[in-house]
């Protein structure tokens, strides 16, 4: 494709789609992202297939399903003991681009390395939940990223730490600066110093993830005076409840961090534009999942509701991606092959389950309204239930298997009921979706415990497969 483009991927942790100002949903200010969306392609149906940090990130990098890539849960000392962690030697979009001559780099939160005992000493330490989350990544386990300025998972936004490319575990860099701003400083230096070869850089910002109060005061002013009803304007928030009160307290700081992240995006875009030259740069902004913020009486994520599943996704690449919008489903598995597609490279590995959506972003593909993405949630030590789901741009089925009480199915018509207030699991459409979900699970070789119960719940569906 002539000149190979630079690739700049920015992921903000727990940044929900509704907090893109241009969508007019949350009462939040994101002028830089709004401008980026106007200059690029805004994907309206980007979704997290497993809306929690590590599982989405593993799919994002590899295009492979959780059971294939090894990350079925968040990575920490407890799950590491059960074998959870990104499997050695898996190809990623970064390792593929490096093989084709790109200079690669990773800055910020990684959260895919299983902690070892020394990480408790040299990283963030043990949290109140009794687990170690932060970990140093050995150079042999950086999955194609050469330049490294990163940490595992640590929640000190105002006093972050990092390990540099050549630093051993016991030599971390401690910084007295808001993490998103500092990581942007490092990224701008990388962009300015990049030589003639194309670069592929991922910047993984921790805000607006909790702790929500760790945000510079300068971003709080716009939200101080907003009341609960203004902050939490979605019809699926029950005002006057404890969940809504807690969510309103969080929302001011969450939106402040969103605005702070937006400012850093503006700085990154300016650095790309100042660099000039005749090599194009693809800027892709997204998140790993959203958060509930009081919707359905919940605060956080790892649920199949839209507030958790829907991702912001903007791709700006002048000359490669025309300005506009797409309604094509782009889920966690699709990012790796799509990033490679935007670079003009293919993901040649039979384990990649994701689809290259670069043609959809370029406006060169008709939207298929039946197109679907899967939803996963695996059973854990604290929650024995597990779930699978299927989401199209207009509807969603979520089946949850409770070992003690059996199957629970919910179905939502997203076109008629975007806030998921009415369960339609008895509708004829739910049976069609159940059939499709079974087919997809069979195709994926997913041995989910609720599979037979789902077939029994919708007898017409049991004739398939």
First-to-last alpha carbon distance for the chain, in angstroms, is: 41
Q: For residues 294 and 427, state if they share a domain.
A: no
Q: For residues 356 and 383, state if they share a domain.
A: no
> Looking at the domain assignment, is residue 390 inside a domain?
yes
Domain count across the chain: 2
- Among 327, 361, 395, the domain-final residue is 361
Q: For residues 422 and 315, state if they share a domain.
A: no
At residue 460, the pLDDT reads 66
CATH code where residue 241 lies? 3.40.720.10
At residue 364, the pLDDT reads 86
- Among 361, 394, 429, the domain-final residue is 361
Q: How far apart are CA 235 and CA 256, in angstroms?
A: 22
* Three-state helix/strand/coil letters over 91-160: CCHHHHHHHCCCEEEEEEECCCCCCCHHHHHHCCCECCCCCECCCCCCHHHCCCCCEEEEECCCCCCCCC
Q: For residues 219 and 305, state if they share a domain.
A: yes
pTM of the full structure: 0.96
Q: For residues 343 and 217, state if they share a domain.
A: yes
Q: How far apart are CA 135 and CA 126, in angstroms?
A: 11
Q: Which residue has the tokens 């059996």?
A: 406
Q: For residues 94 and 242, state if they share a domain.
A: yes
At residue 367, the pLDDT reads 79
DSSP-assigned beta bridge partners for residue 402:
406
Q: Measure the CA dihedral 428/434/436/438, to 10°.
A: -150
Closest Cα to residue 64, out of 94, 84, 80, 87? 87
> Looking at the domain assignment, is residue 19 inside a domain?
yes
For every residue of 171-232, DSSP letters joined together read: -PEE--S-HHHHHHHHHHHHHHH--SS-EEEEEEE-TTSSPTT-S-GGGTGGGTT--HHHHS
DSSP-assigned beta bridge partners for residue 408:
400
> Looking at the domain assignment, is residue 1 inside a domain?
no
Q: For residues 201 and 281, state if they share a domain.
A: yes
For every residue of 224-256, DSSP letters joined together read: TT--HHHHS--TTB-TTSHHHHHHHHHHHHHHH
At residue 2, the pLDDT reads 46
- Among 341, 361, 381, the domain-final residue is 361
Angle between helices 179-193 and 242-275 (to 10 degrees): 20
Q: What are the mean pLDDT values of the chain's consecutive 10-residue runs (465 residues total)?
A: 85 98 97 98 98 98 98 97 96 97 98 97 96 97 98 96 97 98 98 94 98 96 95 97 96 98 98 91 98 98 97 96 96 98 91 95 85 95 96 97 98 98 96 96 94 92 40
> Looking at the domain assignment, is residue 71 inside a domain?
yes
Q: For residues 379 and 343, state if they share a domain.
A: no
CATH code where residue 387 lies? 3.30.1120.10
Q: For residues 345 and 448, state if they share a domain.
A: no
> Looking at the domain assignment, is residue 366 inside a domain?
no
Q: Measure the CA dihedral 123/127/132/137, to 10°.
A: -30
Domain carrying residue 413: 373-463
In this structure, how many other beta carbons lie within 10 angstroms of the beta carbon of residue 297? 14
Q: Find all residues with CB under 8 Å of 135, minimum gap 6, and list them.
A: 75, 113, 114, 115, 116, 119, 123, 152, 153
Q: For residues 436 and 337, state if they share a domain.
A: no
> Looking at the domain assignment, is residue 344 inside a domain?
yes
> Looking at the domain assignment, is residue 188 inside a domain?
yes
Q: How far apart are CA 294 and CA 419, in angstroms?
A: 12
Q: For residues 38 and 128, state if they share a domain.
A: yes
> Looking at the domain assignment, is residue 367 inside a domain?
no
Helix and strand numbers (H, E) in the chain are 14, 16
Q: For residues 15 and 69, state if they share a domain.
A: yes
* Tokens describing residue 157: 């936004």
């Amino acid at each position: 494709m002539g000149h190979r483009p630079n690739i700049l991927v920015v992921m903000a942790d727990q940044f929900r789609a509704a907090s893109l100002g241009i969508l007019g949903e949350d009462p939040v200010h994101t002028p830089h992202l709004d401008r980026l969306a106007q200059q690029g392609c805004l994907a309206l149906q980007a979704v997290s297939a497993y809306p929690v940090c590590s599982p989405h990130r593993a799919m994002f990098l590899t295009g492979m399903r959780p059971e294939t890539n090894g990350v079925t849960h968040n990575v920490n000392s407890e799950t590491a003991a059960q074998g959870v962690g990104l499997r050695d030697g898996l190809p990623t979009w970064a390792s593929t681009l490096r093989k084709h001559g790109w200079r690669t780099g990773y800055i910020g939160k990684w959260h895919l390395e299983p902690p070892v005992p020394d990480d408790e000493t040299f990283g963030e330490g043990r949290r109140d939940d009794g687990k170690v989350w932060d970990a140093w990544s050995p150079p042999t386990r950086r999955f194609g990223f050469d330049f490294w300025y990163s940490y595992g998972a640590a929640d000190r936004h105002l006093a972050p730490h990092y390990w540099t490319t050549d630093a051993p575990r016991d030599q971390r860099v401690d910084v007295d600066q808001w993490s998103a701003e500092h990581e942007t400083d490092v990224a701008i230096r990388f962009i300015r110093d990049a030589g003639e070869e194309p670069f592929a850089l991922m910047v993984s910002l921790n805000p607006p993830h909790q702790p929500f109060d760790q945000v510079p005061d300068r971003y709080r002013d716009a939200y101080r005076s907003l009341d609960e009803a203004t902050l939490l304007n979605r019809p699926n928030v029950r005002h006057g409840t404890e969940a809504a009160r807690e969510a309103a307290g969080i929302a001011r700081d969450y939106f402040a961090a969103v605005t702070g992240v937006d400012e850093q995006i503006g700085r990154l875009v300016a650095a790309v534009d100042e660099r000039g030259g005749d090599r194009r740069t693809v800027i892709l902004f997204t998140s790993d999942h959203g958060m509930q913020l009081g919707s359905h009486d919940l605060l956080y994520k790892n649920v199949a509701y839209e507030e958790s599943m829907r991702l912001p996704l903007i791709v700006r690449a002048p000359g490669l991606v025309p300005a506009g919008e797409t309604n094509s489903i782009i889920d966690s598995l699709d990012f790796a092959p799509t990033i490679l597609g935007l670079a003009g490279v293919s993901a040649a590995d039979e384990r990649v389950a994701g689809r290259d959506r670069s043609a959809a972003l370029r406006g060169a593909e008709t939207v298929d309204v039946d197109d679907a993405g899967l939803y996963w949630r695996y059973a854990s030590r604290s929650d024995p239930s597990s779930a699978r789901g299927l989401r199209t741009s207009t509807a969603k089925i979520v089946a949850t298997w409770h070992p003690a009480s059996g199957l629970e199915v919910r179905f939502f018509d997203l076109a008629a009921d975007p806030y998921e207030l009415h369960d339609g699991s008895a509708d004829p459409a739910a049976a069609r979706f159940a059939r499709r979900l079974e087919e997809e699970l069979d195709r994926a070789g997913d041995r989910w415990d609720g599979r037979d119960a789902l077939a029994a719940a919708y007898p017409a569906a049991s004739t398939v497969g």
